[in-house]
């Protein structure tokens, strides 16, 4: 079993939809949680960074962490075609990141 | 802020030659940088951790004599692929951590696509 599980998708939604991306993990030592967006042939871009359980909102993006369930989510409101990318969850107990496999999202105009 | 650059963005080399890839943190100092490799439609695979002023720490299965890492300053780490072979063709990405943070907050470069012919 992988330490971090993420549905690979692809996830296809119409423009304007609310998107929900999720990861589950098994290592209870993880306390820092991140979401990265990666466009094709580009490096990952840090979207959201959260520490411990709770919600964090930044514009159209909301990150949720539920440490009791070992479950994290990223919500994208009013999705746009420009949001089409691969979304990677990542988590750590220190400096080393453990990544999910990535979810490919396609937002259709 | 927190910008990381890589050079070159794309390189083609002949089998048997060596290629150097540079990773720079442009607006912050980074004691620790990381080098990843990514195959198509796969997640990032950590190759090594680069620490300024000391030897890199390589992940299991990564040949340290083939992938030479030098972290010469707080803003520059280099990865040299020695005696490159076609199987080394891949997308190489570096990341850097601002300061001495232990919070896992890594910022990634744009990646370097290596093609070995």
Residues of chain A short of pLDDT 70, as ranges, are: none
DSSP one-letter code for A18: -
Rounded to a whole number of angstroms, the distance from the CA of A101 to the nearest CA of chain B is 5
The predicted structure's pLDDT at residue B100 = 64
Tell which residue, B88, B104, B23, has the closest CA to residue B56: B23
The predicted structure's pLDDT at residue A76 = 98
The predicted structure's pLDDT at residue B98 = 86
The predicted structure's pLDDT at residue A98 = 93
Q: Is the peptide bond before A27 cis (omega within 30 degrees of 0)?
A: no
- Looking at the partner chain, which of A43, A45, A97 has a beta carbon nearest the beta carbon of B104? A97
Contacts A36 to B, Cβ<8 Å: 108
Contact yes or no for A72/A20 (Cβ under 8 A): no
The predicted structure's pLDDT at residue A7 = 87
Residues of chain B short of pLDDT 50, as ranges, are: none
Give the SS3 label for residue A34: strand
The predicted structure's pLDDT at residue A61 = 97
Contacts B33 to A, Cβ<8 Å: none
Contacts B97 to A, Cβ<8 Å: 95
CA distance from start to end of chain B: 37
Tell which residue, A33, A7, A14, has the closest CA to residue A104: A7
For A77, what's the count of Cα atoms within 13 Å in the CB-facing half-sphere?
7
For A84, what's the count of Cα atoms within 13 Å in the CB-facing half-sphere?
12
The predicted structure's pLDDT at residue B53 = 83
């Amino acid at each position: 079993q992988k330490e971090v599980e993420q549905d690979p998708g692809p996830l296809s939604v119409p423009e304007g939809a609310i998107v929900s991306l999720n990861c589950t993990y098994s290592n209870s030592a993880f306390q820092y949680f991140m979401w990265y967006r990666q466009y094709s042939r580009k490096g990952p871009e840090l979207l959201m960074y959260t520490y411990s359980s709770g919600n964090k909102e930044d514009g159209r993006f909301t990150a949720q962490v539920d440490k009791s369930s070992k479950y994290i989510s990223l919500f994208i409101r009013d999705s746009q075609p420009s949001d089409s990318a691969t979304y990677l969850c990542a988590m750590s107990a220190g400096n080393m990141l453990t990544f999910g496999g990535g979810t490919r999202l396609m937002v259709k105009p | 802020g927190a910008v990381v650059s890589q050079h070159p963005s794309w390189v083609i080399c002949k089998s048997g030659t060596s290629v150097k890839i540079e990773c720079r943190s442009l607006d912050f100092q980074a004691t620790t940088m990381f080098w990843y490799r990514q195959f198509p439609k796969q997640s990032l695979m950590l190759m090594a951790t680069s620490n300024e002023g000391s030897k890199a720490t390589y992940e299991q299965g990564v040949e340290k004599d083939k992938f030479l890492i030098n972290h010469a300053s707080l803003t520059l780490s280099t990865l040299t692929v020695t005696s490159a072979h076609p199987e080394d063709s891949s997308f190489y990405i570096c990341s850097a951590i601002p300061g001495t943070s232990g919070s896992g907050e890594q910022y990634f470069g744009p990646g370097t696509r290596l093609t070995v012919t």
